[in-house]
Amino acid sequence: MRTVIVANALPKGTVQVRLDVATGSLDETARERGFAHFVEHMAFNGSTHVPEGEMVRLLERKGLAFGADTNAQTSFEQTTYMLDLPRNDADLIDTALMLMRETASELTFSPEAVARERGVVLSELRDGRGYALDNFHDQLAFFYPRATYPQRLPIGTVATIDAATAQGLKDFWQRHYVPAKTTLVVIGDVDPAKVEQAIAARFGDWRAAPPRRARTRAKCCRARRARPTCGPIRRWPNG
């Protein structure tokens, strides 16, 4: 994972934290259209140490406003999570780093949470339809006729969002949310040495999840016969 820590005394006492993952809708297969954006939504819907619905309440107790100070966005090539901290005390900075680590490696993707969030994503898709989106799509097709941009708008399609499962979303997340594709940025009224220590404490043991092993043909054949009715070196570069 790459880290960027910049001391900036103005505005006084404030800090901005960004987790940038180099993955977006261009990384999706045809069946995964919209998954990068859906995963972004799931970052606010439960993780190992932060139950579903608790992240927003936790940030509000710390003085952050959802939307104004906490947000995320997905594009063709990247997904970015943003926290604007109104104070620069060590406890609030550590809370922000904890939440970013939860997003990077601890999301739970419960089927119930996915089902609830599906409606939110579909609502965004419906609300975004209209002349502006059609015009954008036509421009992409005109300027990039051989590229996949027109077929990979981050919002996805009704069919793929409806078909998205908790396991499918988790597979996409585990495949792309890895240290090699992640940059953590902390800018503000901070002591860079202390922030670096805090980042190491939160992210030092993060490793990419092992890929799921596909069932072999032999295993599938055995299953049909049985049922005839059917990273070690840690580097912390700065700057």
Which tokens is 117 given?
Answer: 């969030």
Q: For residue 189, which of 15, 18, 5 has the smallest C-alpha distance?
A: 15
Contact 160, 202 (CB under 8 A): no
**Residue 98: Cβ within 10 Å count:** 18
The DSSP bridge partners found for residue 21 are 79, 182
- The four Cα atoms 179, 184, 190, 191 give a dihedral, to 10 degrees, of 30
Distance between CA atoms of residues 200 and 196, nearest Å: 6
Residue 4 CA to residue 33 CA, distance in Å, equals 31
How far apart CA 206 and CA 231 sit, in angstroms, is 8
For 11, half-sphere exposure in the C-beta direction (CA atoms, 13 angstrom radius) is 7
Cα 7–Cα 9–Cα 15 angle in degrees, nearest 5: 70
40 is catalytic: yes
Which of 127, 137, 210 is CA-nearest to residue 174? 210
Peptide bond into 150 cis (omega under 30): no
Catalytic pick among 40, 102, 112, 196: 40
**Catalytic positions, written as ranges:** 40
